[in-house]
Chain A
């Protein structure tokens, strides 16, 4: 049971591995049991005072510190032991400490994901398991994506496919890797001409699709009441233009980044089904993104919707 509780580590991935703009695909390596429901409420505080204009890391005193706060309610449900669905709907606010441009706030993108666990090999020394996640997200408010760096998100539909493999040693130490393809459609600007390495005569902007790769090492302490994990994540756009000198970014930009992160999850023995998650993420390199530092925290609670049928 407790093993399954930490299924919700993926929530922390949403906090930690996102591209700063929108929620990311579930990328953990665990499944809910049939009829098991987990609800979670997470908070993410993302700040940067430098960003990459193309490949040039710079400050901009007319932005000062850009703060992006996200409140993220989520749920996951086990349809079967091997097939889960996950849904999330972030609320985002943005604000700059400098300059005279007003920030934005509102609901961002609703995401729904299906997760499937096709194969697992169990041995006495440990286990190897594989997972596939497919997801879809779309904007649920009329936020303007072409309002960088304040925009709530990229304003695009996103289809994602992620493959995950995980090896867990019997000691509880595990290694997990995953690779995702994020297909993004287009977003609508509120102008019918824009420049992105040349002219575009349309309100439609192509939002570059991207890959996302992750490697994580984790383990358990104190009779599996405390989980620690460290990870490295890269996100790379397949196309896109650079932010030009002293220009604002736009959704057509090639947004790349590499992040390191650390996470902690604690299961208080007095509150069955409850856990507290805390995370820290640092963007270590990037292109056309903020050099963010992200702290996050939240609560998860999980329980069975129906009692398991008793075995005859």
Chain B
């Protein structure tokens, strides 16, 4: 008996010890950014400086000084300074060089997505049941500016990508105009920790992208100015520590990037976004117009009721490529209570009652709700992965994201035009007692934003990466379907959104076809 007692005591303590050892050994180390190995570019696009810019008047609209001669003492001194900096690199510096890699487009897109997620929170109600909206003139006063909802974020991504693209076309122009050879060709002894290419080094494309991205994002997310400065400083320092650039490459790039950003921000200031979130009387008149026209109207179902939907006039914001929104506006949705409506409503009720694990997963995978990068951000992530997969150089990468994000923002504008023109009620409003697994957003139902955004993104990605067309189309379809599983859209919302997004993207793809890129 005594012996047994000790056995038990031993076994139990041994067991506890095992638990402690086991649990200590499974500490969690989760990825905070997308890891990618720096790679050699699939091509350099020597003629990139001749491609058609989206918004800039010319490649030399922003001027930079000619670089010093490769044989000059000034340049040699710069190389010596870069070597000294490389010689005293810390482990953190090495991590920074690897983190930034040689495609700054991937990282800056990631930074933009994180800011979208950080600011994608809807204002809460006040104690008296009213709501206060973010004030761009006073961004630090709660609720903070911006509320980075899908329309806002689609616009931020578009401006950043277009500015990067236009700035890099100018960069390529200057690189080949001035022809300062890649650093390793000037000095064979410099230690380079990233794959090298024969791309002329002046101005530094990484510095251009850092400057242009920092400026655009600082305007879009004004409370992040300090953070963006620190990221930009780190990126520029990494360019020198990587052994690919000297200070004058970076300084010229910084100047070019800031110049281009300024021009794009002038466009942003006048694109109509500041009027998108209307006061209640205007919102009510839009709602009433739909009721007079169609006999239905959407009303927010939250408690307390939000008096104005999300950005009723986002549909009036200046498009990038669509010439007339009426041309891409979908047909009138089924009348409430019609046979077609009832069929869609029955499908939703049936899904709500019998949702499968697979359907739930799809709804959640594409939910892209509050505190996420938004549906446009989701597609930016997918596109970024392709940039790396196809080893695109920064110019090609910027081109891909510029066209995708123009199409995506245009899709959002077109979708919002339809949403507030038709002002169609959501399933939770039109189907008595209906509940779903996703929170219903604060804007009308028809058409589905996620479907429209996704179809537009997939169309552009399928054009640029033909081998991926079947995948991206399938994802767009799944994204559209996910809203039905989540109970926030009727099937006809999603189907019309897919058609609309595809049509909208055609305008952008037609521009891409003739921009000079092969």
Contact = CB atoms under 8 A, between A and B. Distances in A.
A247 B20 contact: no
Interface centre among B9, B28, B365 (most CB of A within 10 A): B28
Contact of B303 (A62, A79, A101, A186): A62
Given A185-B26, A190-B361, A191-B365, A116 B12 contact: yes
B437 A101 contact: yes
Interface centre among A83, A100, A200 (most CB of B within 10 A): A100
Interface string A125-151: 000000010101000001010110000
B367 A100 contact: no
A202 B30 contact: yes
B30 A101 contact: no
User: How many interface residues does chain A have, given as a range?
Assistant: 35 or more
A132 B12 contact: yes
A246 interface: yes
A121 interface: no
B302 interface: yes
A136 B367 CA distance: 33
Contacts of A272: none
A114 interface: yes
A82 B32 contact: no
B34 A102 contact: no
B8 A83 contact: yes
A148 to B, nearest CB: 12
Contact of B304 (A61, A82, A102): A61
A191 B15 contact: no
B16 A132 contact: yes
Given A61-B303, A159-B22, A247-B371, A191 B12 contact: no
B398 to A, nearest CB: 22
A80 B2 CA distance: 12
Contacts of A100: 301, 428, 434-436, 439-440
B381 interface: yes
A183 interface: yes
B381 A193 contact: yes
Contact of A199 (B114, B142, B440): B114
Nearest to A185: B26
B364 interface: yes
A198 interface: yes
A191 B372 contact: yes
Interface stretch (B42-50, B119-127, B265-273, B470-478): B119-127
B12 A83 contact: yes
A58 B124 CA distance: 11
Contacts of A161: 16, 19-20
A221 interface: no
B72 interface: no
Contacts of A206: 28, 30
A91 interface: no
Contacts of B364: 144, 146, 189-191
Contacts of A159: 19, 22-23
Interface centre among A61, A192, A195, A244 (most CB of B within 10 A): A195
A246 B370 contact: yes
Interface string B360-375: 1100110100111100
A102 B436 contact: yes
B32 A200 contact: yes
Interface string B18-45: 0110110010101111100000000000
Given A100-B436, A190-B361, A201-B32, A114 B118 contact: no
A174 interface: no
B8 A247 contact: no
Contact of B123 (A61, A116, A183, A246): A246
A195 B436 contact: no
Contacts of A202: 30-31
Nearest to A96: B435
A266 interface: no
Contacts of A305: none
B352 interface: yes
User: How many interface residues does chain B have, given as a range?
Assistant: 35 or more
B143 interface: yes
Contact of B357 (A61, A142, A204): A142
A58 B435 CA distance: 24
B117 interface: yes
A195 B16 contact: no
Given A191-B364, A199-B33, A118 B9 contact: yes
Interface string A99-117: 1111000000000001010
A82 B10 CA distance: 13
A116 B33 CA distance: 45
B437 A147 contact: yes
B301 A195 contact: no
B90 interface: no
A98 interface: yes
Nearest to B439: A101
Interface in B343-371: 352, 357, 360-361, 364-365, 367, 370-371
B194 to A, nearest CB: 22
Contacts of B141: none
Contacts of B123: 246
Contacts of B371: 194-195, 244, 247-248
Nearest to A104: B437
A307 interface: no
Contacts of A204: 28, 30
Interface in B391-437: 428, 434-437
B124 A80 contact: no
A288 to B, nearest CB: 14
A245 interface: yes
Nearest to A80: B8
Nearest to B23: A183
B293 to A, nearest CB: 27
Given A102-B436, A116-B9, A247-B370, A198 B114 contact: yes
Contacts of B189: none
A116 B370 contact: no
B15 A114 contact: yes
B86 to A, nearest CB: 29
Interface in A59-81: 61-62, 79-80
Contacts of B124: 58, 245-246
Contact of A195 (B114, B125, B361): B114
5 contacts: A118-B9, A144-B364, A198-B114, A199-B33, A200-B30
Interface of B: 4-5, 8-9, 12, 15-16, 19-20, 22-23, 26, 28, 30-34, 110, 113-114, 117-118, 121-125, 142-143, 301-304, 352, 357, 360-361, 364-365, 367, 370-373, 378, 381, 428, 434-440, 487
9 nearest CB pairs, A to B: A190-B364, A61-B303, A246-B124, A100-B428, A183-B23, A102-B435, A195-B117, A116-B12, A206-B28
Interface of A: 58, 61-62, 79-80, 82-83, 98-102, 114, 116, 118, 132, 134, 136, 142, 144, 146-147, 159, 161, 183, 185-186, 189-195, 198-202, 204, 206, 244-248
